[in-house]
Amino acid sequence: MPIDRETIARRLYDAYRGGAVPPLRDGLEPTDADGAYAIQQINTRRWIEEGRRIIGRKIGLTAEAVQKQLGVDQPDYGVLFDDMWIAEGGELLASKVLQPKAEAEIAIVLARDLNDPDATAESVAASAEYAVAAIEIVDSRIADWKITFADTVADNGSSAYFVLGTDKKPLPGLDLRTCGMALEINDKVVSLGAGVACLGHPLNAAAWLARTLAQRGEGLRAGDVLMTGALGPMVALSPGDQVKATVGGLGSVAFSYRDERA
């Protein structure tokens, strides 16, 4: 008999402290988007009740190759909470994550509310205050990253932490489509990419998110941070790593990863 959604949500919630769990096959079909988002929402409500505050959303699966790998034809999203934000140049402690990876992105911060089921890249740009270079630290509560689409959605989009650059750029005049990206670890380039790798344009990803949330009866708010998706391959982290991402036109952003238990 399949496990109910509340039980799966609790399993993921407990995994943050208890360690990664097996894939959720006993209660969630690999492509069950509605079930996976319902599970995500259960834990979102739980975290809000505990005092966490939503400050935006993250978009994942923006690369066509990754979508094909997971057998889907759309991105996914997760919730960003205030305690997931690491200051630029700050530190991530190994005790806070299970199996972290880093990816370079472009983040958009909204100047006004956006609740439009017909949102376009142009309407997102008109609603944006600025863009910054960003790094997302993704993590999975599913053992060995053996995820399906439903696993990652239920697990809040495999989210963990994020870092935003401090060079805030208004969107007019920016080339977010062909801008290049270089991700470095310990001064060695480990990932390369460009804005076009993110659904053809990071604003396409943001527009998809706006439409999807509006269709689900939610909306984006002024001040929300939108992590628009990876510009290149993500890279696993090891204690002691110094991580830096540089995005054309947006400057650089960095953080360090340390195991305080060593």
Residue spans of the domains in the chain: they are 5-258
User: Which pLDDT score, from 0 to 100, does residue 229 have?
Assistant: 96
Fold of 5-258: Fumarylacetoacetate hydrolase; domain 2 (3.90.850)
- The dihedral built from the CA positions of residue 108, 110, 115 and 120, taken in this order, carries a sign that is negative
User: Sign of the CA dihedral 161, 166, 171, 176?
Assistant: negative
CA gap 21, 15 in Å, rounded? 6
> Could you give the CA distance from residue 203 to residue 219 in angstroms, rounded to a whole number?
16
Distance CA 221, CA 226 (A): 10
Q: Tell me the C-alpha distance between 130 and 213, whole Å.
A: 21
Q: For each of the chain's 262 residues, which pLDDT tens digit applies?
A: 568 999 999 999 999 999 999 999 999 999 999 999 999 999 999 999 999 999 999 999 998 767 776 777 789 999 999 999 999 999 999 999 999 999 999 999 999 999 999 999 999 999 999 999 999 999 999 999 999 999 999 999 999 999 999 999 999 999 999 999 999 999 999 999 999 999 999 999 999 999 999 999 999 999 999 999 999 999 999 999 999 999 999 999 999 999 998 7
User: Computed over its alpha carbons, how large is the radius of gyration of the chain?
Assistant: 17
What pLDDT, on the 0 to 100 scale, is given for residue 87?
A: 98
- Give the list of residues 6+ apart from residue 55 with CB closer than 8 angstroms, or none: 80, 81, 82, 85, 223, 224, 225
Rounded-to-integer distance, Cα 230 and Cα 198, Å: 6
| CA–CA distance, 200 with 186 (Å, rounded to integer) | 30
Whole-model pTM?
0.95
* Cβ-based neighbours of 133, under 8 Å, separated by 6 or more: 104, 106, 107, 164, 165, 167, 245, 246, 247, 250, 251, 252, 253
Element housing 206 (H / E) = helix 202-215
